Amino acid sequence: MFQTNLLKIRQAFETALSGLKLDSDALIFIDGIDVRPSDIAYTDYFECVRGLIEAVWAINSDFLANIKDSPGRIRVVLLVRPDIFLRTGLHNINTKLRDNSVFLNWSTTYKDYRGSLLFTVADRLLSAQQENPPAKIGQAWDYYFPFHAENVTATTVTRGGGVTSFLSFLRFSYYRPRDISSMIATMQDIVRRKRGAAEYVTAEDFNDPSFRDAHAEYLLGEIRDQLLFYYSQDEYDLFLQFFSHLRGKRKFTYEQFVEGFNEFIGECSGSRIVLPKFFESANAFLQFLYEQNVICYKEHDASNNEDAELFIRWSFRERTFANMAPKVRTGVEYEIFYGLSKALNVGRTVQVKEAKARRQIGTIISVDTKKGFGFVRGGEHHVEYYFKLGEFQGLGNPRMGQKVSFEPEVKYGKPRARTILPSK
């Protein structure tokens, strides 16, 4: 009976839509599905999202495309993040994306930004509020933000003229209109509190710590919303805790990242914390940070000379129809997104005394001589550490119940014992 009633509802909608005579095309937008309600489990909610994506695909291709006697066409447009769409596992995803979607790419360059759609949107946001809107793109922006961006020389910006203050906004954004709009609104509130009815914004206003703090919290809130689609609040809190293990570094090497990751995993293992999947290994977490645009990676061209050009790779810039999930490189240098530094408490080096490797005492609880590995339980929290027989030094044949000392480490996201010695 349920299926019969559902079929009648569908037929009624199809009849009504088929009878429409449109003079122009119409789009029906569906938004908001990439924010998961906290009281609905991820697996249940994702099945709903997947079903909705498949339904939109079916109604566009099987029904709406076959309405021939109307000049205009109707199309349903689902607004969804690329990472969510890719997880649906639909067949022929690349073809579906190319033929049935619009990829919103607001990227621009320092030299061409004044001709970009992103700058046009920001300028119109300001000019549309005027009684007599200026005719030329850029006039409203230059009036309200009449300062030049820091560290930008006259030769850097060669096209379009005008002030370069918009570049300051670009540095703190992911090249999205809502980032620019949020910064303008935050700046408006701060300037009003500082200087009353000020007519324009200065470079000092932009560098105001209260503005940087407020914008950093906005960006972190955006990341939080993305992560909470998949994970819980507790898992998001663990994500934030990791950054304290970078010792305040905003720029770091691969070796420094792995060291901080291993230290963090060891701390969690000692506290018996169940870690989410993105902490599966150092490389998996590095890719996760890259996908979330928390970090970029830097690489030089292949010339191997001192003047080699430096390329800064951000996931949101590298994403294309052909490469919707760009991969991070390992073994290079990395940098946390400039606008997030304050929210993640990085950017100031934390002085930490180098400590000698802290050995722990434990007991061998299992040995498999044929496969060449075993486990030792030890440390303050009695964690089980995996070891290979080659890590034994001067013990002969290890046996269950034997007391040993060892150096703890984390490898592939798991506790591991190395340089194992006899213990009295």
User: What is the spatial distance between Cα 369 and Cα 347, in angstroms, rounded to a whole number?
Assistant: 48
- Six-digit token string for 327: 């991969």
Location of structure tokens 């591991």: 416
Is residue 238 within 8 Å of 288, Cβ to Cβ? no
Is residue 140 within 8 Å of 130, Cβ to Cβ? yes
User: What is the spatial distance between Cα 40 and Cα 204, in angstroms, rounded to a whole number?
Assistant: 45
Q: What DSSP element (H or E) covers 295?
A: strand 295-300
- The CB density around residue 1, as the number of other CB atoms within 10 Å, is 5
Per-residue pLDDT of the chain (424 residues; tens, 9 = 90+): 888 999 999 899 989 988 888 889 999 999 988 888 888 989 999 999 999 988 888 888 889 988 888 888 888 888 888 888 888 877 777 777 777 777 778 889 888 899 999 999 999 999 988 888 888 999 999 999 999 998 775 545 545 567 899 999 999 999 999 999 999 999 988 888 887 778 889 999 999 999 999 999 999 999 999 999 999 989 999 999 999 999 889 999 999 999 999 989 888 876 778 888 899 999 999 999 999 999 999 998 765 565 667 899 999 999 887 888 899 999 999 999 989 988 998 866 545 444 444 678 889 899 888 888 888 988 766 778 888 888 887 657 788 888 888 888 777 667 888 888 887 6
What pLDDT sits at residue 356? 44
User: What is the spatial distance between Cα 291 and Cα 15, in angstroms, rounded to a whole number?
Assistant: 44
Task: Output the pTM of the full model.
Answer: 0.74
Domain ranges of the chain: 2-100, 113-207, 230-340, 360-422
What is the chain's length?
A: 424
Q: CB under 8 Å to 368, separation ≥6 — which residues?
A: 374
Instruction: Return the SS3 of 333.
Output: strand
Is residue 367 within 8 Å of 399, Cβ to Cβ? yes
User: What is the spatial distance between Cα 305 and Cα 299, in angstroms, rounded to a whole number?
Assistant: 13
What pLDDT sits at residue 79? 87
- The CB density around residue 409, as the number of other CB atoms within 10 Å, is 17
What pLDDT sits at residue 126? 93
- Six-digit token string for 272: 């018996």
What pLDDT sits at residue 407? 85
- The CB density around residue 54, as the number of other CB atoms within 10 Å, is 12
Q: Which of 22, 8, 117 is nearest to 75 (CA)?
A: 22
Q: Which of 109, 232, 240 is nearest to 175 (CA)?
A: 109
Using the CB atoms, write b or e for 318-338: b if 16+ within 10 Å. Answer: ebeeeeeebebeeeebbbbbb
Integer Rg of the chain from CA = 28
- Six-digit token string for 192: 């009003």
User: What is the spatial distance between Cα 33 and Cα 46, in angstroms, rounded to a whole number?
Assistant: 10
Location of structure tokens 């001709």: 115
Q: For domain 360-422, give the CATH number.
A: 2.40.50.140
What pLDDT sits at residue 397? 75
| Residue 45, Cβ density class (10 Å: 0-12 exposed, 13-18 middle, ≥19 buried) | middle
